[in-house]
Structure 1
Amino acid sequence: MQLGIFGKYLTLWVAICIVAGLALGELWPSFSNTLSRFTISQVSIPVAILVWFMIYPMMARIDFTSIADVRKRPRGLALTLVINWLVKPFTMFVVTWFFLKIVFAPWIDGDLGDAYLAGAILLGAAPCTAMVFVWSYLTKGNAAYTLVQVTVNDLIMLFAYAPIVIL
């Protein structure tokens, strides 16, 4: 399999974007405040547009008639649901607690550690759905199967996110 220039130098592109973002923040500190004015119901319009541009090319290649075939292979979907909702949130808590409360406890005061732990819990409880399309595309995965996985996880997130975070 031949990688294109994007795939071959993906690490470089990510590094360039990180450096560009840091430079933009240094050179134009009010840039994030300017962007934050473009929101609807606390949703950033620039971010929504960029995520759409990231996902649309993969969505355009989906044969929507093949979505019904996902029922023939439910194990992958079941595994994804178990890992995303029963394993990952609690693993994130345990790993973060270990590092913040034991390994780095001498350097991070209790209140700050608690705030970081709360942030890690919020992050760990939410499955990353947008990047799933990207990774599936880059690995030549089944786009229809990926769409079903993302859709089911998003629907579960509507009901399960808050109770898991409260735990």
Structure 2
Amino acid sequence: MSLIDRLLPVWIILAMAAGLLLSHTGLADVLGATEIAGVSLPVAVGLLVMMYPPLAKVRYDTAGRITADRRLMAVSLTLNWILGPALMFALAWLFLPDQPELRTGLIIVGLARCIAMVLIWSELACGDRETTAVLVAVNSVFQVLMFGVLGWFYLQILPSWLGLSTTSAEFSFLAIAGSVLVFLGIPLVAGAASRLLGERLRGHRWYEEVFLPRVSPLALIGLLYTIVILFTLQGHQVTDDPWSVARVALPLVVYFAVMPALALTLSRAVGLGYARSTSVAFTAAGNNFELAIAVAVGTFGADSGQALAGTVGPLIEVPVLVGLVYVIRRLGPLLFPGDSTLPPGAASSSDPVPSPTITEHTIP
């Protein structure tokens, strides 16, 4: 196990700290000016590098079997497109009743379902990578189709029904589709092409035992790089308005704790095993912060409270979901005793938890 794998939380904390320090240098302005079609090029590079190894590991021939599992799809769609947005709406009004800008930004974060880092968190927790990839793809399609509709519902229609103040906002279909295309489409095509060409030219054994171990470290390298760049770009907003950050952080912590708990409970109730339940939990808990920030900035402006709320999202999500990796690995043997998809060497309730590694995975 590499040093990065064994000390993952330490490296992530150091990456966050480095980004916050760099945010007060001229580097933040240089990085912020490097955009293509409204997409931050440095962040895009990090996300693409980070997402490629998990998608290169996926066995794409299993996608049909996964989508045919009605229990899995029903639980995932319910969590992502009904319970998740509704929970964030409730938390936004509960914790920020006097802050309409921050509240609106928080609701937008809840509507942007994760299509990027969730692949890393699920992989670290030894979720089923094929299931995670399929659920991410399904979320992407729903995101393009439903983001604007749900934004209209939660920012205008539902508050009006409840006698609350409403928010006028327009969402660009092209911006949403572009985000999905860049952050999922490119690494998805690259991953599928790698498996197809690698197995055809060199064989299945070479691909699994030689190629994948060589590219696997890129996932964590890309993750740490992305965290540094993200905190460099957004860190000044954190230090300039710490009270607003704290107010937004509290409902986000509650959200990131409640969603995986709901996901694991529902998944276990319908009979899903550890690996698939873990995939469901992370796809339900994570959010597409790039899309949320882009929509908030494009609709309300870079200096708006909505943009600040979007920025706080990944600042809270990254450390909380890293912690969730360890929690799920610890609870796995308790919630799914004897399950064949538990992580290799899964601990009992009295044993120490092995540190997660990006290369570990049990294929169900």
Scaled by the length of structure 2, the TM-score of the pair is 0.40
Q: 1:72 to 1:162 in 2, by over 3 A?
A: closer
Partner of 1:31: 27
* In structure 2, distance between residues paired with 1:146 and 1:155: 14
Query: Residue in 2 aligned with 1:159?
Result: 145
Tell me the secondary structure at the aligned position of residue 127 of structure 1.
coil
Distance 2:72 2:117 in 1: 17
The corresponding residue for 2:110 is 124
Q: Is residue 11 of structure 1 aligned with residue 25 of structure 2?
A: no
What do residues 48-67 of structure 1 show as CA deviations (whole Å, max 9, x unaligned)? 11001111111111111122
Shift of 1:117: 0.3
- 1:73 is aligned to 69
- Structure 2 residue 94 is matched with structure 1 residue 98: yes
Is 2:59 aligned against 1:55? no
SS of match in other structure, 1:32: helix
The alpha-carbon deviation at position 72 of structure 1 amounts to 4.2
Moved more, 114-123 or 36-45: 36-45
User: RCO (CA 8 Å, sep 6+): is it higher in 1 or 2?
Assistant: 2
Alignment-mate amino acid for residue 115 of structure 1 = E
List alignment gaps of at least 5 residues for structure 2: 154-364
Change (3 A) 1:77 1:132: farther
| Offset, 1:33 | 2.2
How far off is 1:5 after superposition? Answer: 3.5
Equivalent residue number for residue 125 of structure 2: 139
Partner of 1:86: 82
Q: 1:75 to 1:33 in 2, by over 3 A?
A: same
- The RMSD of aligned alpha carbons is 1.6
Distance in 2 of aligned mates of 1:71 and 1:99 = 37
Check the 8 A contact 2:67/2:134 in 1, yes or no: no
Look up the SS of the partner of 1:60 in the other structure: helix
Aligned residues: 153
Query: TM-score under structure 1 normalisation?
Result: 0.84
Deviations 1:81-129, CA, capped at 9 Å, x for gaps: 111110111111111211112xxxxxxxx4xx10000100110111122
Report the identity percentage: 29
- Extract unaligned runs of 5+ from structure 1: 102-109
